[in-house]
């Protein structure tokens, strides 16, 4: 089970059986993950220019991410010399979607989806000592943070919004300028110094402000983001069969969409949908939906 590469047995049980809604820290006990990926391997890829530039983000708080042209050659390849210079100058290098770059991570990602029914992705973050990349924000899915090297400090606050998902309640969409001053004045609800060999379960919506304090070694960690399935996902699967009904494939004329007639068409579509769902044999969909959970790479197909 690939989840056991990220978490000890108790962590796997907690994740699968209860899906915690508060952060938890675990000692991994096993270092089997490091046989597949390590801080040294990531730095080697970075120093040789083997990382695809489109999967790289470079940022140093409080500034936004740098333009990719800053570390990209004319032919589109990563400029290893410039990238290493930025890192040595205090910038965090984030390597996205390792499951698309490294075969061992692809296998781990595929196995996690088989085990959970959730699609997922893996990012790596390399932050120099005494520096910070991303600042206060929250994410839209459960994250398993795996510390490979150094120490990362996580200041955490309870979710300011309920159950953020996809574009709904994304931090940058609903951000308030008062957030950070309020959080800093109150202090974090939890502070975690994540050590090598430890993992942090970080539920969606929890505000996090990660950084490497002065005097601490540079940090390398992996973020495994698990895209949670929800009743909305099931509703989308239930409604997907509507396309088989020709009535739902008929054209709505521009004059119907742009006039008061639209309300009538909305009501008609709703009534037809209700009738379709009431007559739908959900038992016959179970196998297909289970297969989709193991194969869909995004929230919906």
Q: Is the peptide bond before 62 cis (omega within 30 degrees of 0)?
A: yes
pLDDT in tens, 81-135: 999 999 999 999 999 999 999 999 999 999 999 999 999 999 999 999 999 999 9
Rounded to whole angstroms, what are the CA distances from 213 to 49, 153, 173, 175? 28, 7, 29, 26
CATH fold label, 3-226:
Jelly Rolls (2.60.120)
User: What value does the mean pLDDT of the chain take?
Assistant: 95
Predicted pLDDT at 301: 30
**What is the average per-residue pLDDT within 19-24?**
97
Mean pLDDT is lowest, of 142-146, 243-247, 258-262, for 258-262
Rounded to whole angstroms, what are the CA distances from 37 to 24, 30, 44, 147, 151? 23, 14, 11, 12, 18
pLDDT in tens, 228-256: 999 999 999 999 999 999 999 999 998 88
CA atoms within 13 A on the CB side of 113: 21
Instruction: Read off the pLDDT band of 299 (50, 70, 90).
Output: low
Tell which residue, 46, 5, 44, 47, has the closest CA to residue 26.
5
Give percent of the chain with pLDDT exceeding 90: 93
Predicted pLDDT at 79: 96
Q: How many helices (H) and strands (E) does the chain have?
A: 10, 10
Predicted pLDDT at 146: 98
Distance CA 145, CA 156 (A): 13
> What residue spans in the chain does CATH classification 2.60.120.650 cover?
3-226
**What is the average per-residue pLDDT within 138-158?**
97
């Amino acid at each position: 089970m690939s989840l056991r590469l990220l978490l000890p047995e108790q962590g796997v049980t907690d994740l699968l059986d209860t899906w915690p809604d508060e952060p938890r820290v675990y000692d991994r006990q096993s270092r089997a993950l490091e046989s597949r990926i390590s801080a040294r391997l990531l730095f080697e890829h970075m120093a040789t220019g083997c990382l695809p530039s489109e999967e790289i983000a470079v940022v140093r708080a409080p500034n936004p991410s740098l333009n990719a042209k800053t570390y990209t050659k004319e032919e589109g390849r990563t400029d290893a010399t410039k990238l290493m210079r930025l890192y040595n100058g205090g910038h965090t290098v984030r390597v996205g979607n390792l499951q698309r770059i490294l075969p061992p991570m692809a296998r781990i990602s595929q196995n996690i989806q088989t085990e959970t029914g959730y699609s997922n992705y893996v990012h790596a973050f390399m932050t120099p000592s005494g520096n910070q990349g991303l600042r206060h924000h929250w994410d839209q899915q459960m994250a398993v943070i795996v510390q490979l090297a150094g120490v990362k400090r996580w200041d955490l606050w309870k979710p300011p919004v309920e159950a953020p998902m996809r574009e709904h309640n994304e931090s940058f969409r609903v951000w308030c300028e008062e957030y950070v001053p309020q959080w800093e004045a109150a202090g974090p609800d939890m502070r975690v110094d994540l050590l090598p060999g430890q993992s942090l379960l970080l539920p969606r919506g929890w505000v996090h402000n990660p950084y490497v304090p002065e005097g601490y070694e540079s940090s390398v960690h992996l973020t495994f983001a698990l895209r949670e399935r929800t009743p909305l996902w099931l509703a989308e699967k239930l409604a997907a069969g509507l396309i088989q009904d020709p009535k739902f494939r008929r054209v709505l004329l521009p004059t119907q969409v742009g006039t008061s007639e639209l309300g009538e068409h909305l009501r008609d579509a709703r009534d037809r949908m209700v009738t379709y769902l009431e007559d739908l044999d959900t038992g016959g969909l179970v196998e297909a939906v289970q297969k989709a959970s193991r194969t869909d790479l995004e929230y919906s197909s």
